[in-house]
Amino acid sequence: MAVTSHVETERKYEAAADTKLPAWSDIPGVTTVHGPRTEQLSAVYYDTADQRLGRYGATLRRRTGGDDAGWHLKVPAGEDSRTELRLPLDARPEDATNAPPDELADLTFAMTRGAALRPIAQLKTSRRVWDLLGADGAPVAEVTDDQVTATRLDGSSNVDEWRELEVELAGRGANGVLAGAEKVLRKAGIRRAGHSSKLARVVPPPAAPVPDATGTAGAALLAYVQTRFDALVTQDLLVRRDAPDAVHQLRVAARRLRAALLVYRRLLPGTERLRADLRWLGRRLADARDLEVQEKHLVTAVAALPSELVVGPVSARLTRHYSPAAAAARETVTATLADKRYRRVLDDLARLLADPDLGPRASRPSAKELPKHLRRAYRKTKRRLSDDTLHRARKAAKQYRYSLETAEPAVGKAAKEARKRAKALTKLLGEHQDGVVTQPVLRDLGMQAHLASENGFTYGLLLEQERARCARVREVYPAYWRRLRKARPWA
């Protein structure tokens, strides 16, 4: 059964039981108010025993009543916004297992790491709803006034009751409507809620660990690993939904983690297996990302050519080439996320952060210790560039760049400037590598066109463009390297 998605942008407010509501027509941009209509809602919320969904700001519920009854998984999507993924109630009829539908449970895998989801709270809501319309009669927002009764399902039977208002954008509503509504509510003595969701008020999520990146070297490294692990978890769900660029971002998170653990391995020893697993993960995701970049580049290159230089069904041949390859790469990605080795990556990262086995150097001040490790990463890049092996040099430069990211909060402007210059170099060397791998593809496509009695002129033209791109990089990259050499955070 297909999962549908909806992005909701809303703000929550707390109100006393006797608080008088303002006139919703006072909100700028609102000309007509319909309502209120009433709804009776009941929702059972699910999480693991140690609230792993709550740790990432996610909620999973089974709701009855209202016009959106069903299974809902909500995940953060920026300030005031969350993505709501839905399935109808018949996706999992209520039974003795109380288990959420597999389609939604699978999307939470990186957060839960396979731990069982169980009911943790039940919320019953008596709701009044107003629809706010703009001058053209289109909806701009929805306001709800909720009387909530919440019961914890952890055996404590704790019951909480409160009143809560929500203002959610609708239709053509813009963020200005939210800001205007907030001013109107504040004048009425109504303030923002102190929780991100109703569930968070009933069962507060565990606080996320926040290591001090400016304290010891070990704390700085753990802070970076925590941030990149969170990014990996976030991208996992997007990859499972086949969201644009998600595979790339998941791969980047894995490479950043591996680089940090490799460059700073003396601070956090014993991560050899985890580094090997992260390398395996990056390689498994590589084809999907590389094909996406390559196809986009060639489609753009063809579109930029004058029409008289596009001879034959070039675009159609590109599609026929990349579509099956992309489908096969997608299957590899799906298999990778289901692989036991991937689950081991998630488990090992979680254990490392919960109980790190730090080396003796980790207790030293981060501002003094981290630059020593940066120097080694820099020297590795220098050696590879001196050998003129640009692809291997790019890999070393990326490790250096990511290790600079780790050190930046502690080292400051010097690390930030070096990171920016390293990024420019790696981006340039990436163009060279893309050109190198694209050339044989164009030769093959040109040969296929020839064998099909088509004119191969355009493929030859594109091939020469790729050769020129590589030649340009070889010509200019020494200047980028000289700029990077001048930025040394350890000096």
Tokens 């580094």, located at residue: 275
Measured CA to CA in angstroms, residue 29 lies from 132, 203, 357 at distances of: 9, 36, 57
Q: Are strands 81-87 and 118-133 parallel, antiparallel or unpaired?
A: unpaired
Per-residue pLDDT at 151 exceeds 60: yes
Same domain (yes/no): 332, 381: yes
Contacts of residue 407, Cβ cutoff 8 Å, sequence gap at least 6:
220, 366, 370, 371, 373, 374, 415, 489
Confirm whether 192 is domain-assigned.
yes
| Residues 129 and 222 both lie in one domain | no
Q: Are 120 and 203 in contact (CB under 8 A)?
A: yes
Task: Return the percentage of the chain with pLDDT > 70, whole number.
Answer: 97
Identify whether residues 146 and 241 lie together within a single domain. no
Domain membership of residue 24 (yes or no) is yes
Q: In angstroms, what CA-CA distances link 282 with 112, 333, 342?
A: 22, 10, 11
Whether residue 210 is contained in a domain is answered as: no
Domain boundary among 145, 170, 202: 202
Arithmetic mean of pLDDT, 134-146: 94
pLDDT, the chain, mean: 93
Beta strands 4-15 and 191-192 are antiparallel
Asked if the structure places residue 9 within a domain, the reply is yes
The pair of three-digit structure tokens given for residue 247, joined into one six-digit string: 């595979």
Express as a percent the part of the chain with pLDDT over 90: 87
Distance CA 213, CA 115 (A): 30
Residue 20 sits in the same domain as residue 168: yes
Same domain flag for 113 and 146: yes
pLDDT by residue (tens digit) across 173-182?
A: 677 899 999 9
| Same-domain check for residues 331 and 293 | yes
Residue 172 above 80 pLDDT? Answer: no
Same domain, 474 and 338: yes
Task: Point out the domain boundary residue: 202, 231, 264.
Answer: 202
Q: Tens digit of pLDDT for each residue in 308-345? A: 999 999 999 999 999 999 999 999 999 999 999 999 99
Residue 211 placed within a domain:
no
Q: Please report whether residue 113 resides in a domain.
A: yes
Give the dihedral of Cα atoms 460, 461, 464, 465; nearest 10 deg: -140
Q: What is the CATH classification number for the domain harbouring 456?
A: 1.40.20.10
Confirm whether 361 is domain-assigned.
yes
> So what's the pLDDT on residue 93?
65
167 and 50 assigned to the same domain: yes
Give per-residue pLDDT as tens, 445-482.
999 999 999 999 999 999 999 999 999 999 999 999 99
Going by C-alpha positions, the residue among 10, 112, 5, 102 that lies closest to residue 58 is 112
pTM reported for the whole predicted model: 0.90
What pLDDT is attached to residue 38? 96
Does position 259 have pLDDT exceeding 60, yes or no? yes
CA–CA gap between residue 367 and residue 409 (Å, rounded): 9
The verdict on 266 and 168 lying in the same domain is: no
Rounded CA-CA distance 323/291 in Å is 10
Task: Evaluate whether 275 touches 262 at the Cβ level (below 8 Å).
Answer: yes
The tokens describing 130, both together, are: 């107003």
- Distance between CA atoms of residues 374 and 368, nearest Å: 11
Asked if the structure places residue 85 within a domain, the reply is yes
Tell me the average pLDDT across 268-284.
97
Q: Structural domain tally of the chain?
A: 2
CATH number at residue 84: 2.40.320.10
The closest alpha carbon to 126, from 164, 70, 86, belongs to: 164
> pLDDT for 29-72, tens place per residue?
999 999 999 999 999 999 999 999 999 999 999 999 988 899 99
Per the rule left: phi > 0, alpha: psi between -120 and 50, beta: everything else, 83 is: beta
pLDDT band at 214 (very low <50, low <70, confident <90, very high): confident
* Whether residue 75 is found in the same domain as residue 25: yes
List pLDDT tens digits, range 335-387. 999 999 999 999 999 999 999 999 999 999 999 999 999 999 999 999 998 76
Phi and psi of 31, rounded to 5°? -115, -25
Residue where a domain stops, chosen among 156, 175, 202: 202
Encoded tokens for 115: 């731990």
Together in a domain, 185 and 223 = no
Name which of 204-208, 260-264, 409-413 the model is least confident about: 204-208
Q: Which domain holds residue 456?
A: 217-485
Kindly state whether residues 139 and 225 are assigned to the same domain: no
* pLDDT range class, residue 388, cuts 50, 70, 90: low
pLDDT of 196: 86
- Say what the pLDDT of residue 96 is: 47
